[in-house]
Chain A
């Protein structure tokens, strides 16, 4: 029983990170219908910026995260402007290849700047707590709480501000949004900024309990794709639920099935789902 609770808690931690990354991915997909393969690299850069700010510049954790959000957000916007925007009218295969180009570049760049080794990020919240027989560090608790706060803020932004509502409108109906005079460029840029920011937050939160290295985005982004396919490409609640769901499944699978193969769970899940429903679970209508 205690093991189960412990695993549920761990699942919640991992799930929080997955949800944040998947949220960015699904927002971008909703607006531009691009599966952004470079999103994992953006996440990785987010981890490194925070690490660098803390260890080399020596500012505190929160300020480091703020810097990371801005840098990565801007990077994400640049990506939209320089690459995806010029490609908006070409065949879809090109978007994916371009994104892969960016991914390869960012990883090489990270390796050049920070080296290929695994880095540890120290967190001011390393204290160990024991509650109801569950042992955890404050950092893990922080991840869970911070993720929820971020999601609530995102929700308020999307529902209560004009520009946020525009993002929703555009993700639901691109042409319609053009008709009412929404500046599609602005919305696209903003969406990319938000997606980058979410990735930076996720990476900064998880780095103290994991490691920072150039390939740290690989698995996360793959899983985020699995999540948004499960949750429905472009769906925001789907990304959140899917993230937690995968977190729990993995953490329980790791204990009760095999730690070696826990990373495979997501992909088996995806393969099963797409095998049964080739257009995703929540495919709208038919095409």
Chain B
């Protein structure tokens, strides 16, 4: 088992945002989580990445219980994530934004900074190289020196990917990576996600765009009101009664 949740539960007051979810992420695959708005998908990610502590249940990563580790420690283990809303530093350039992504793999401290030690210089060099490398990977080499405020939504999504990749992750969690971008751009972002998988990075993503999920996912889990209602290949999910009902039921009442 690579990464798994066991009876994972999160309560906010009386609300069970995530309710006893068992899920296994397949290594080297694209794992997708779908579900109606408010189903608890983002909360599920937040539990795995340590933003929230679970009310009960566990998150196991490579046989280690990471349920109660803080986010930054989890990131160090090689678990990266992006957020539903990109929160980049708008006034800075793309390149400047991405450099800090490699910070967790460096050790320079205040002393190094003030005296500009060899270690700092080497690590800065390495962070910059890493930034260039991941920007190249996401196809933003040309925009590296542009200010984030001036780039498109789709480019911002790419910067967020680049940041996550700069942490040297072995698994990435992408929360609605294509929200708010047009169909053509969605296509391009999708192929970028596939490219990540080809690089050997395990991908786990939340998406609302069904067609895209069906095309690229190896495995899908469906959440509804915090509960896992289905899990399987795209084909299995497509024909699952409960899933159809969850989606139709909600959209009919909405």
Does chain A touch chain B in the assembled complex, meaning CB atoms less than 8 Å apart? yes
In the complex, A284→B15 CA distance in Å? 13
Query: Scoring A residues 250 to 287 as 1 if CB is less than 8 Å from chain B, else 0, what string do you get?
Result: 00000000000000000000000000000000001110
Which residues of B lie under 8 Å from residue A285 when comparing CB positions? 12-13
B212 to chain A, nearest CB (A): 28
Which residues of B lie under 8 Å from residue A284 when comparing CB positions? 13
Interface status of B146 (Cβ within 8 A of chain A): no
In the complex, A284→B12 CA distance in Å? 9
Interface status of B52 (Cβ within 8 A of chain A): yes
Query: Scoring A residues 99 to 141 as 1 if CB is less than 8 Å from chain B, else 0, what string do you get?
Result: 0000000000000000000000000000000000000000000
In the complex, A285→B52 CA distance in Å? 11
In the complex, A286→B15 CA distance in Å? 13
B176 to chain A, nearest CB (A): 19
In the complex, A286→B50 CA distance in Å? 13
Query: Scoring B residues 34 to 71 as 1 if CB is less than 8 Å from chain A, else 0, what string do you get?
Result: 00000000000000000010000000000000000000
Which residues of A lie under 8 Å from residue B13 when comparing CB positions? 284-285
In the complex, residue of chain A having the shortest beta-carbon distance to the beta carbon of B11: A285
How many Cβ-Cβ contacts under 8 Å join chain A to chain B?
5
In the complex, A286→B52 CA distance in Å? 8
Query: In terms of DSSP, what is the predominant structure of the interface of chain A?
Result: loop
Which residues of A lie under 8 Å from residue B52 when comparing CB positions? 286
Which residues of B lie under 8 Å from residue A286 when comparing CB positions? 12, 52
In the complex, residue of chain A having the shortest beta-carbon distance to the beta carbon of B13: A285
In the complex, A286→B12 CA distance in Å? 8
Query: Scoring A residues 42 to 75 as 1 if CB is less than 8 Å from chain B, else 0, what string do you get?
Result: 0000000000000000000000000000000000
B17 to chain A, nearest CB (A): 10
Query: Scoring B residues 4 to 18 as 1 if CB is less than 8 Å from chain A, else 0, what string do you get?
Result: 000000001100000
A64 to chain B, nearest CB (A): 47
A89 to chain B, nearest CB (A): 13
In the complex, residue of chain B having the shortest beta-carbon distance to the beta carbon of A286: B52
A90 to chain B, nearest CB (A): 12
In the complex, A154→B13 CA distance in Å? 30
B164 to chain A, nearest CB (A): 22
In the complex, A90→B174 CA distance in Å? 27
In the complex, A284→B14 CA distance in Å? 12
A279 to chain B, nearest CB (A): 14
B81 to chain A, nearest CB (A): 17
A101 to chain B, nearest CB (A): 22
Query: Scoring A residues 232 to 246 as 1 if CB is less than 8 Å from chain B, else 0, what string do you get?
Result: 000000000000000
Which residues of A lie under 8 Å from residue B12 when comparing CB positions? 285-286
B184 to chain A, nearest CB (A): 30
In the complex, residue of chain A having the shortest beta-carbon distance to the beta carbon of B12: A285
Query: Scoring A residues 190 to 228 as 1 if CB is less than 8 Å from chain B, else 0, what string do you get?
Result: 000000000000000000000000000000000000000
B233 to chain A, nearest CB (A): 36
In the complex, A285→B51 CA distance in Å? 13
In the complex, residue of chain A having the shortest beta-carbon distance to the beta carbon of B10: A286
In the complex, A285→B12 CA distance in Å? 6
B44 to chain A, nearest CB (A): 16
In the complex, A210→B29 CA distance in Å? 73
In the complex, A193→B178 CA distance in Å? 44
B56 to chain A, nearest CB (A): 15
B43 to chain A, nearest CB (A): 11
B148 to chain A, nearest CB (A): 15
In the complex, A193→B16 CA distance in Å? 40
B93 to chain A, nearest CB (A): 19
In the complex, residue of chain A having the shortest beta-carbon distance to the beta carbon of B15: A285
B113 to chain A, nearest CB (A): 24
In the complex, residue of chain A having the shortest beta-carbon distance to the beta carbon of B52: A286
B128 to chain A, nearest CB (A): 28
B4 to chain A, nearest CB (A): 24
In the complex, A284→B13 CA distance in Å? 8
In the complex, residue of chain B having the shortest beta-carbon distance to the beta carbon of A285: B12
In the complex, A150→B52 CA distance in Å? 42
A162 to chain B, nearest CB (A): 28
In the complex, A69→B122 CA distance in Å? 65
A179 to chain B, nearest CB (A): 14
B99 to chain A, nearest CB (A): 22
A206 to chain B, nearest CB (A): 39
In the complex, A285→B11 CA distance in Å? 9
B185 to chain A, nearest CB (A): 26
In the complex, residue of chain A having the shortest beta-carbon distance to the beta carbon of B53: A286
Q: What 5 A-B pairs come out closest when comparing CB atoms?
A: A285-B12, A285-B13, A286-B52, A286-B12, A284-B13
Give residues in B with beta carbon < 8 Å to A.
12-13, 52
**CB-defined A-B contacts under 8 Å, sample of 5:** A284-B13, A285-B12, A285-B13, A286-B12, A286-B52
